[in-house]
Amino acid sequence: MQFQCDTTARTPIYRQLIDQVRRAVARGGLGPGDRLPSVRQLSRELVVNPNTIARAYAELEREGTVVTQQGRGVFVAQPRTELTKKVRRERLGEALDRLLVEAVHLGFTANELQAMMTDRLGQFSFVSEGNDSR
Partner 1 sequence: MTDVIRTERLTKHYGDKRVVDCLNLRVEQGQVYGLLGRNGAGKSTTIKMLLGMVQPDSGNVTLLGESVDSLCPETRQRIAYIAEGHPLYNWMTVGQAVRFARSFYTQWNDTLLEQILDHFELSRRQKLRRLSHGQRAQVSLALAVAPEPELLILDDPTLGLDTVVRRDFLESLIQIIHRKGRTILFSSHILGDVERMADRIGILVDGVLRVDCPTDKFRESVKKLVLDFSGPAPEDFTCPGLVESWQVGSQLELVLVGYNEAQRQAVEALEPRNIEVVELNLEEAFIEYTRGRRRSLPLFASEPSHDQTVGDQGAA
Give me the least distance between CB of 62 and partner 1, in Å please.
16
H/E element holding 96?
A: helix 85-105
User: What's the sign of the alpha-carbon dihedral 29, 67, 52, 9?
Assistant: positive
Q: Does 9 bind partner 1 (CB under 8 A)?
A: yes
Is the Cβ of residue 3 or residue 29 nearer to partner 1 in the bound state? 3
Q: Does 53 bind partner 1 (CB under 8 A)?
A: no
Is the Cβ of residue 48 or residue 76 nearer to partner 1 in the bound state? 48
β-partners of residue 74 are: 36, 68
- Report how far residue 40's alpha carbon sits from residue 13's, in angstroms, rounded to the nearest whole number: 16
Give me the least distance between CB of 37 and partner 1, in Å please.
14
Is the Cβ of residue 25 or residue 74 nearer to partner 1 in the bound state? 74
Is the Cβ of residue 41 or residue 84 nearer to partner 1 in the bound state? 41
- Please state, in angstroms and as integers, the Cα–Cα distance from residue 9 to each residue in 2, 6, 13, 44, 103, following that order: 18, 6, 9, 20, 24
- Binding residue (CB under 8 A) for partner 1 from 27, 28, 49, 126: 49
Backbone angles phi, psi at 26, to 5 degrees: -65, -30
Residues that bind partner 1 in the complex, under the rule CB under 8 A: 5, 7-14, 40, 43-44, 46-52
